[in-house]
Amino acid sequence: MEFFPTREILLRIGSLEIRWYAVLIMTGALLTYFISSREVKKAGYHPDIMDDLFVGAMFFGILGARIWYVLFSDLSYYLADPIRIIQIWNGGLAIQGGVMAGLLFALYYCKKHHYQFMHLVDMILPNVLVAQAMGRWGNFANQECYGPVVEDSYFNGILGFIKDGMFIDGHYRMPMFFIESCLCILGWILIQLYRRHGRKMRGNGFFGYLAWYGVIRFFIEHYRTDSLVVGGLKTAQLIGIGMAVIGLAGLAGAFKKLYAGKKPALIFDLDGTLLDTEKAIFASFDEVLHRHMPDLVLTEKDYVSFLGPTLQESFKKYAPDFDTETLVAEYREANRKLHDTGIVQPIRHVPELLKWLKENGYQMAIASSKKAETCRLGLKVTGLDEYFDIIIGADDVVKHKPDKETIVKAYEALGTSMSNTIYVGDSPSDVVCARNAGVFSIALVSNELRRQELSDIKPNRLIDDMAEIESILQEDHPWTYNMM
């Protein structure tokens, strides 16, 4: 075993060589993976999505980068001995080809799994700049990506540590690899800041990457003396111009119609959101709890605490010494009977809103902590059943709210995705559920005692009247929880 046998090789074990070029490229790719995974998970996607994208994009990205390099460097050299084509450890990857191939794979993956392509690439593509910044140090190891001859004094000061590596063909060379590496990191920081503090628009990450990298690559290639050339023109500069033009036009909104999502799907909680069921809920808890604990005194705050949590959670809290499932069964029977008395009514302006949504082509579903059968009963007695074919209730899921399963099943049944979905609820657990699913959240203040609690948990919108949803739907931004 021999460490650092040459400047290009990190480790040699017999005939096996581990080169700095490969190590640094993989390190950059893994950094991009971890940064992107964190953001993708935060946006509500399943972690496996990033694993699938990473493996596929890496494979096709390396393949595309190699093919691009072979085609536009010295094709006759590789055709003379085709085995050289697969010897990427000796250097020779063109990032433009890699990015194009990786994006094509991502597009295929998103189409196949019904994800919004632009939402995912907005989160992932800017992070590729981190990988590129690391990969340029692989070029340093191979003495690639350099510019014109410079005096040795050029490396005085902070650049002194790379001086020896820039002595190429008997002259010191301008370290274009280092300049590009620094500009990549700067671009990554600027794009992230713009995405967080600039206008919230689909494509900010995607077009920001194209614009930034297109400009810096054009600049870098102007000084490089080892560029790929076709027809007397530097291919990277031609591609850089194209990337910059597309990126800047995209940031200005020129291509919005091409990737704008359909109308968002709306998924509703039921109790306290569409139906005013407070009286029925309170009366049902009263009947069950006082049947078993006649001396129990419930305050207004106690009654409000019944809104949102599952029945099991509430009964475990107030009647821990009794069999929870028995109490739940008694509650459901009492609640079902109350539905027949007319005590359950639609929330103010809900019938008008649902009619407007249906007339304007919006998809709708119910995602509730109640059993689906009870949901249907409530909708039927209030005359709202005509608006909902898809109802996901407590009996349809394994994990209840605030886990995201209820919302995920609803938007999957609608044939849409988390990147174009709104969830409307009235409790903190509804907002947390929306956040976990990555969907845009609207919280209705159906009980003034919960206003501060709802405000603190930060839904995307806090409303006092369901009629406000019509104006919210006119807004121009992504329909995801993080709105990025």
Q: Classify residue 197 by burial, with Cβ atoms within 10 Å: 0-12, 13-18, 19+.
A: exposed
Q: Within the chain, what is the greatest distance between any pair of CA atoms?
A: 96
The dihedrals phi and psi of 250, each to the nearest 5 degrees, come to -65, -40
Ranges of H-type helices in 198-234: 204-223
Q: Which two tokens stand for residue 255?
A: 């291509």
Helix axes 128-141, 176-197, angle to 10 degrees: 170
Separation between Cα atoms, residue 206 and residue 337, nearest integer Å = 55
* Helix, strand, coil fractions of the chain, as percent rounded to 5: 60, 10, 30
Q: Quick one: which of 395, 432, 427, 433 has its CA closest to 411?
A: 433
Catalytic hit among 122, 269, 271, 430:
269
Helix (H, G, I), strand (E, B) or coil at 94: coil
Token look-up 């021999």 returns 2
Neighbours of 354 (CB within 10 A): 21
Q: Quick check: is 269 catalytic?
A: yes
Q: Are 235 and 228 in contact (CB under 8 A)?
A: yes
Q: Are 148 and 225 in contact (CB under 8 A)?
A: yes
Active site residues: 269
